[in-house]
Amino acid sequence: MIILGLTGSIGMGKSTAAKMFAEAGVPVHDSDETVHLLYAGQAAPLIEAAFPGVVVDGVVDRAKLAARVLGDKAALKRLEEIVHPLVRAHADAFVATHRAAGTPLVVLDIPLLFETGGRDRVDKVAVVSAAPEIQRERVLSRPGMTPEKFEAILARQTPDAEKRRLADFVIDTGKEFEATHAQILAIIDRLIGDKGQQARP
């Protein structure tokens, strides 16, 4: 089985790319979606213990939590030490299930793949990318986003140019949907066609 890591900086179109992989029949593990589930379950009491007052009715209030950790490296590190192992365990179970089923290709959608040392968990990496002006326009159109928040998020992420350099595949999302879709289908064809050489033992 081939494990493809899908990553990219904020606003680069990773969610759209992940959806296209799923629509093409490739199982996708979404780290962000897993975090949402954990914030309403297993992680909630652990986060409340570390950051009192951020859990409301048993669910982590993401806005309250963001206000506590954004710009505070120590607080962010504490949060990551709680959440990252839980997300990884969830992903490992996903991989194990599909490996046992003989699935030829799966995607791990990991926003901070390079930043969290996730490269060793995957066989190949696909990075979504677009021009800086497109990225900025996309991000600043999000509700509640400000230029300051955008810059703070970018500061935590490996620069796009470095991600592109480290990638096995670069998916250009700055064009039409059809162009992005064609790139993704080409990646799937290449990986499944070469699965004997590409897959982990």
Please tell me whether residues 98 and 109 are part of one structural domain: no
pLDDT digits (tens, 9 = 90+) for 4-40: 999 999 999 999 999 999 999 999 999 889 999 999 9
Q: Which of the listed residues 79, 102, 125 is the one where a domain comes to its end?
A: 102
Q: Which of the listed residues 76, 102, 128 is the one where a domain comes to its end?
A: 102
Please tell me whether residues 108 and 168 are part of one structural domain: yes
Question: How far apart, in whole angstroms, are the C-alpha atoms of residue 201 and residue 189?
Answer: 20
Within its chain, how far is the Cα of 66 from the centroid?
18
pLDDT digits (tens, 9 = 90+) for 33-84: 999 999 999 999 999 999 999 999 999 999 999 999 987 889 999 999 999 9
Q: For strand 2-7 and strand 105-109, is the pairing parallel, antiparallel, or unpaired?
A: parallel
DSSP codes joined into one string, 28-49 = EEEHHHHHHHHHTTTTHHHHHH
Please tell me whether residues 19 and 65 are part of one structural domain: no
Place of tokens 């990496």: 125
Q: Which of the listed residues 55, 76, 102 is the one where a domain comes to its end?
A: 102
Q: Which H/E stretch holds residue 21?
A: helix 14-23
Residue 97 structural domain: 34-102
SS3 category, 2: strand
Please tell me whether residues 135 and 169 are part of one structural domain: yes
Count structural domains, the chain.
Answer: 2
